[in-house]
């Protein structure tokens, strides 16, 4: 019902498992957008992992299950900032085999944020429904130490904000900002940067809506 009303859901907080029920609500065949959507996924981890301790739905499986459930379009899904410790040398194989465009942190640094923006716009497509899922651990712990799974060597907040501004015009149908752990945020820098990411995302959504609905 909320989806049918035309709502663009933007959430902040929670762990990454919240993405799957959001996508079920706004991206399934019964949704307003009627079928698989594109995803712009910022994260240190691909989160396309299989069951853990026998549990299928967990905070690192949503980009496996969402594709299996027909909620997302693999050819329109891009994962950016991937890095971090390998618990299993094959842990990212499923995401690669699925056909997601994966920009690991070394490629990000090699090509620079403007080229990452261009590649993201190419994958997302013009005017097509696209969801943003933003794990705060894509940021370097210098900018976001209070996250669930911190990984060194991430992007800067300046790169993050520039990246989001570069997405202006894309048809963003919803977004989440996840994995903030407030009790660890002793300096409040994570909250400051998370709210800045939120502000930029909401701004590009509002910009597109206002341009599509000009005042008479």
Binding site for Mn ion (CB under 5 A): 43-45, 135, 137
DSSP letter (8 states) at residue 49: -
Tokens, residue 156: 């800067």
Comparison of 144 and 167: residue with beta carbon closer to Mn ion: 144
- Nearer to Mn ion by Cβ, of 44 and 98: the residue is 44
Sheet containing strand 72-82, edge to edge, reads: 10-12, 172-178, 130-135, 37-42, 72-82, 101-104
The residue behind tokens 């739905």 is 57
C-alpha–C-alpha distance, residues 15 and 9, integer Å: 16
Q: Which is nearer to Mn ion, 154 or 174 (CB)?
A: 154
Task: In angstroms, give the least distance from the CB of 136 to Mn ion.
Answer: 8
**In whole angstroms, how close is the CB of 37 to Mn ion at the nearest point?**
21
Q: In this structure, what token pair is assigned to residue 23?
A: 């996508």
Q: Report residue 104 as tokens.
A: 């690991």
CB of 147 to Mn ion, least distance (A): 8
Which residue, 62 or 123, has its beta carbon nearer to Mn ion? 62
Compute how many other C-beta atoms are within 10 angstroms of the C-beta atom of residue 186.
9
CB of 2 to Mn ion, least distance (A): 27
Let me know: does 193 contact 137? Beta carbons within 8 Å. Answer: no
Q: Taking CA 24 as the corner, what is the angle to CA 119 and CA 11, rounded to the nearest 5 degrees?
A: 70
Q: To the nearest whole angstrom, how small is the minimum distance from the Cβ of residue 44 to Mn ion?
A: 5
Closest approach of Mn ion to the CB of residue 48, in Å: 12
Distance from chain centroid for Cα 198: 12
Nearer to Mn ion, 87 or 214 (CB): 87
Q: Give the nearer residue to Mn ion in terms of CB position, either 135 or 159.
A: 135
């Amino acid at each position: 019902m909320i989806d049918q009303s035309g709502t663009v859901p933007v959430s902040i907080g929670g762990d990454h498992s919240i993405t799957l029920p959001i996508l079920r609500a706004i991206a399934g065949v019964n949704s307003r957008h009627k079928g698989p959507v594109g995803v712009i996924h910022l994260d240190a981890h691909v989160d396309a992992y299989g069951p853990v301790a026998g549990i299928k739905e967990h905070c690192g499986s949503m980009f496996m299950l969402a594709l299996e459930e027909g909620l997302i379009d693999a050819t329109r899904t891009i994962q950016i900032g991937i890095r971090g410790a390998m618990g299993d040398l094959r842990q990212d194989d499923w995401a690669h085999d699925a056909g997601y465009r994966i920009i690991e942190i070394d490629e990000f640094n090699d090509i620079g944020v403007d080229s990452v923006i261009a590649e993201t716009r190419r994958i997302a497509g013009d005017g097509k429904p696209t969801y943003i899922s933003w794990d705060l651990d894509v940021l370097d712990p210098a900018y976001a130490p209070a996250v669930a799974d911190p990984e060194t060597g991430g992007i800067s907040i300046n790169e993050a904000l520039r990246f989001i501004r570069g997405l202006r015009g894309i048809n963003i149908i919803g977004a989440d900002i996840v994995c903030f752990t407030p009790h660890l945020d002793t300096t409040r820098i994570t909250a400051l940067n998370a709210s800045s990411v939120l502000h930029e995302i909401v701004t590009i959504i509002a910009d597109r809506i206002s341009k599509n609905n000009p005042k008479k």
